[in-house]
C-alpha cells in the first residue's frame, strides 16, 4: 500500500496544490489521482506561473484573441476561459473520487478574484456565477477568511455552494469561518436544502506562520520555540474544532445530513531549508483533515515522509508553547493579521500580473495570426 492510501486509512486526504494544462494533458495528474491524491487546489499564483510561465495555453489563447471567432473581447473573459477549462477538466478527472467518497473528497478549488477580498457582495456574486457557470458538484469556490469574506462564506453555504475558506492564519480567523459554515448550514436547512450535498474545508496556512514568528524569536534571541509555533497553532485549531463541532446545535445539523467542515493544512511546503522538507506533513497527520501539497513536497513525502498519527499528540504541549510565545511578548494575533493582509495582496499581485501577461501574449499571438493570414 502506498503512503497516500495509508494516510487515507488514518483519516487524512492529500490534495495537490497545483494545476497546469500540460500536467493534465500528459496524464500525470490522472496517475496521481489513481495513486491516491483525492483533490486539487489552485490559487492566482499557481495560475500565473502556469499560464504566464509556459506555452501550454498559447493555442487556446490564440483562438480567444480573435474576437470574431471566439466571441470574447476582454482580458477578463480570456482569463476566465483559460482557467475554467482547466477546472472543468480536473473536476472530471476527480469525479470518480467524489462518487466513491460520497462527496467527502474529489474536489477542485477555484478562487474568486482576490481583488474582491474586501467586498462581501462582490465575492458572493462572483462565487455564485463561477459555481453556476462550471455546473459541477465537485467544485469548491475559494473565499478568503477576511472580515468581509466571512459573511460571504455564510451566504454561499446557505446557497448550497461548496466553499474552500482560505487564508486562515489564526484561531480567530478559523472560528469566524467555522461559525459562518454552521450558520450557513442552518439557513440552508431552513430553506429545505440538502445539507448532505454541501461540503467545505477551512484552509489553515502553516509554514508562513513559522517564517514570521521565527524572525521575531531570532530578534529576542529565543531558540527553543523556533519551528514549533506553526504546528502548535494548527493543533490549537484542532482543539477548537472539537468544541465547535459538538453539542446540541451541531447534533441537530448532523441529523439533517451535515458533515463537519474539515481543517485543511495549506502552505505546507517548508520555507526554511534548515527544517525537514516533510515537516508540515509528518507532524499534521490526523483524522478528518486534508493536507494540500505542492508537487515537490508531495514527491519528498512519498520518498521519505513518515506515516503516523501525529496531529492529536501533545495537544497540551502545543497550548503551552503558544502561552510561552505570548509571555515573550510575541503577539500571534498581530502576526497572523499581517500574514493575512500580505497573503491577500500577494494573490492580488499574481492576479494582476496574470492579466497583464494574458494581454501581452494575446497581442503577440493576434499579430502572428494576422501576418500568417
- Catalytic residue positions? 142
Whole-number Å distance between alpha carbons of 167 and 345: 11
Are 30 and 97 in contact by the 8 Å Cβ rule? The answer is no
**Per-residue CA distances from 235 to 58, 241, 286, 293, 323 (Å):** 44, 10, 10, 18, 13
Are 42 and 111 in contact by the 8 Å Cβ rule? The answer is yes
Are 129 and 74 in contact by the 8 Å Cβ rule? The answer is no
Count of beta carbons in the 10 Å neighbourhood of residue 89:
16
Are 231 and 209 in contact by the 8 Å Cβ rule? The answer is no
Listed in sequence order, the DSSP H helices in the chain are: 3-9, 21-25, 28-35, 44-47, 58-64, 67-70, 75-100, 120-134, 149-158, 171-190, 207-220, 229-244, 247-254, 279-282, 295-304, 315-327, 332-372
Q: Which residues make beta-bridge pairs with 39?
A: 107
Amino acid at each position: 500500500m502506498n503512503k497516500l492510501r495509508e494516510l487515507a486509512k488514518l483519516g487524512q486526504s492529500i490534495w495537490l496544490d497545483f494545476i497546469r494544462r500540460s500536467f493534465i494533458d500528459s496524464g500525470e495528474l490522472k496517475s496521481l489521482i489513481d495513486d491516491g491524491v483525492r483533490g486539487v487546489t489552485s490559487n492566482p499564483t499557481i495560475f500565473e506561473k502556469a499560464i504566464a510561465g509556459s506555452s501550454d495555453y498559447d493555442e487556446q489563447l490564440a483562438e480567444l484573441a480573435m474576437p470574431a471567432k471566439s466571441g470574447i473581447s476582454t482580458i477578463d473573459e480570456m482569463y476566465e476561459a483559460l482557467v475554467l477549462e482547466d477546472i472543468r477538466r480536473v473536476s472530471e478527472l476527480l469525479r470518480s473520487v467524489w462518487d466513491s467518497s460520497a462527496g467527502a473528497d474529489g474536489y477542485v478549488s477555484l478562487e474568486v478574484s482576490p481583488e474582491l477580498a474586501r467586498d462581501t457582495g462582490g465575492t458572493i456574486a462572483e462565487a455564485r456565477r463561477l459555481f453556476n457557470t462550471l455546473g459541477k458538484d465537485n467544485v469548491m469556490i475559494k473565499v478568503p477568511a477576511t472580515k468581509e469574506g466571512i459573511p460571504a462564506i455564510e451566504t454561499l453555504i446557505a446557497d448550497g455552494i461548496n466553499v474552500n475558506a482560505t487564508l486562515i492564519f489564526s484561531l480567530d480567523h478559523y472560528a469566524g469561518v467555522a461559525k459562518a459554515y454552521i450558520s450557513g448550514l442552518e439557513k440552508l436547512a431552513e430553506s429545505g436544502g440538502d445539507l448532505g450535498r454541501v461540503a467545505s474545508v477551512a484552509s489553515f496556512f502553516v509554514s508562513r506562520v513559522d517564517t514570521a514568528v521565527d524572525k521575531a524569536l531570532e530578534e529576542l534571541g529565543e531558540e527553543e520555540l523556533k519551528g514549533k509555533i506553526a504546528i502548535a497553532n494548527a493543533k490549537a485549531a484542532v482543539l477548537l474544532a472539537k468544541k465547535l463541532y459538538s453539542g446540541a446545535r451541531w447534533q441537530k445539523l448532523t441529523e439533517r445530513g451535515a458533515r463537519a467542515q474539515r481543517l485543511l493544512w495549506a502552505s505546507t511546503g517548508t520555507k526554511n531549508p534548515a527544517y525537514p522538507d516533510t515537516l508540515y506533513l509528518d507532524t499534521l497527520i490526523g483524522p478528518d483533515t486534508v493536507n494540500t501539497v505542492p508537487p515537490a513536497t508531495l514527491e519528498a513525502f512519498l520518498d521519505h515522509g513518515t506515516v503516523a498519527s501525529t496531529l492529536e499528540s501533545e495537544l497540551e504541549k502545543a497550548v503551552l508553547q503558544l502561552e510561552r510565545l505570548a509571555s515573550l511578548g510575541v503577539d500571534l494575533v498581530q502576526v497572523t493579521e499581517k500574514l493575512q493582509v500580505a497573503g491577500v495582496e500577494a494573490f492580488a499581485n499574481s492576479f494582476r500580473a496574470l492579466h497583464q501577461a494574458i494581454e501581452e501574449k494575446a497581442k503577440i499571438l493576434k499579430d502572428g495570426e494576422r501576418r500568417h493570414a
